[in-house]
Structure 1
């Protein structure tokens, strides 16, 4: 069996006359943290939506754990072990943190007791256990971001797609989130992340892919990608300092 948990081959998505993603090749190894970066409108969220089953590809192949998943529905992919977060967090605001996380846990059980146990494990991992009885709508943005991860993590994913989970966070909160995400990988979860905060990308990622106008323009280690002239011109800007 391939060591890659996700393999994307010639992935293309058209929306009418617009090509949002064009012939994208990408792979993610089991246990890896892979970042997808690029300018606003580059097609990053479209890639996530294709992988997560929100849109069917116009062309190309997506394989998860060796199985072609083109056109599979998000809930079916979630049962296979592929979960995602959303850039705009939308918890059940009038419900507790515990309730929100238990919703994800019910994917694999009908038992309230087992769902609660799973939710409590997840909250402990994410540092949310002290907030279990707080209403989700009363949380800070940093805790809402953790809760968004918690809802996905409760489903027991092997591959977790994180869509800008650090947007809007203060520098100390970004550092805390970096630690959280590394901890997920240490627990056996492969992570595919979209992120604009380059300090976080550099600290987190084993590899980085850069897309621009739906096409991959670079791929490699964070250090190599940030020195790539095409990446500097298209995204980072001439005054970017990788240090």
Structure 2
């Protein structure tokens, strides 16, 4: 059974079609990458999955259930979590506080929420900064905190929206290892990312959209050789490694 499935999902804003009859499927335990030029409709597709938008047409299924039009907070309780391109923690609160708040999505116990938060921070290699104010963190650690907050909700599916943007190459490599570890723990991952080296190394399969329409899908090495993808997004100088 798939963890997430789009059936002809279309999202229109007035006369603009941001996502056009998009079909995609993510199997349980899979990492699926979504790529395309700026303005292609990637974040809109994410927002349809996360409950921010109700598609104009089509259906979204999560773990076999029709969730079309469901609210983000209800989806979070069902096991669907997401991160955001621009991270906005409670800057005047500690790392542990931020992560504990997220854990309340699935428990009403303060003790249990804090235990979940501490465990997640350890896995994200942030436990040594648990008492630091979130506003004082480096960009890389803020990104880790964003992921920790999502993981504290105990997701079955994690949506990652350009979480590696702005990181140095060594930090990107560390983040790739983090995501592989998350997948090994049983979490399915749906990721948008512009850093091609990262998305190629991380994804089991890629879906490419352009002007809201899917133009290619398949194994990363095959997609990278697709002439439509090269023309629309990668450019002629890109060579798949």
The TM-score, its normalising length taken from structure 1, stands at: 0.99
Kindly indicate whether residue 207 of structure 2 is the aligned counterpart of residue 239 of structure 1: no
RMSD (CA atoms):
0.5
The match for 2:168 among 166, 170, 178 is 170
Instruction: Trace 1:143-154 onto structure 2 (pairs within 5 A).
Output: 143-154=141-152
Q: Using the alignment, how far apart are the partners of 2:177 and 2:168 within structure 1?
A: 14
Instruction: Trace 1:29-178 onto structure 2 (pairs within 5 A).
Output: 29-178=27-176
Kindly indicate whether residue 197 of structure 2 is the aligned counterpart of residue 199 of structure 1: yes
Deviation at 1:68, TM superposition (A): 0.5
Deviation at 1:156, TM superposition (A): 0.4
Note the alpha carbon deviations across 1:205-229, whole angstroms, 9 max, x for none. 0000000000000000000000000
Q: Secondary structure at the match of 1:183?
A: helix
Q: Secondary structure at the match of 1:216?
A: strand
Q: Using the alignment, how far apart are the partners of 1:183 and 1:79 within structure 2?
A: 22
Q: Using the alignment, how far apart are the partners of 1:36 and 1:68 within structure 2?
A: 21
Per the alignment, residue 188 of structure 2 pairs with: 190
Deviation at 1:110, TM superposition (A): 1.5
Deviation at 1:241, TM superposition (A): 1.4
Q: Using the alignment, how far apart are the partners of 1:211 and 1:56 within structure 2?
A: 19
Note the alpha carbon deviations across 1:41-64, whole angstroms, 9 max, x for none. 000000000000001100000000
Deviation at 1:108, TM superposition (A): 1.5
Unaligned runs of 5+ in 2: none
Q: Using the alignment, how far apart are the partners of 2:106 and 2:59 within structure 1?
A: 28
Per the alignment, residue 23 of structure 1 pairs with: 21
Deviation at 1:113, TM superposition (A): 0.7
Note the alpha carbon deviations across 1:146-190, whole angstroms, 9 max, x for none. 000011100000000000000000000000000000000000000
How many pairs align?
241
Q: Using the alignment, how far apart are the partners of 1:76 and 1:109 within structure 2?
A: 14
Unaligned runs of 5+ in 1: none
Deviation at 1:97, TM superposition (A): 0.2
Q: Using the alignment, how far apart are the partners of 1:74 and 1:8 within structure 2?
A: 17
Q: Using the alignment, how far apart are the partners of 1:80 and 1:202 within structure 2?
A: 29
The TM-score, its normalising length taken from structure 2, stands at: 0.99
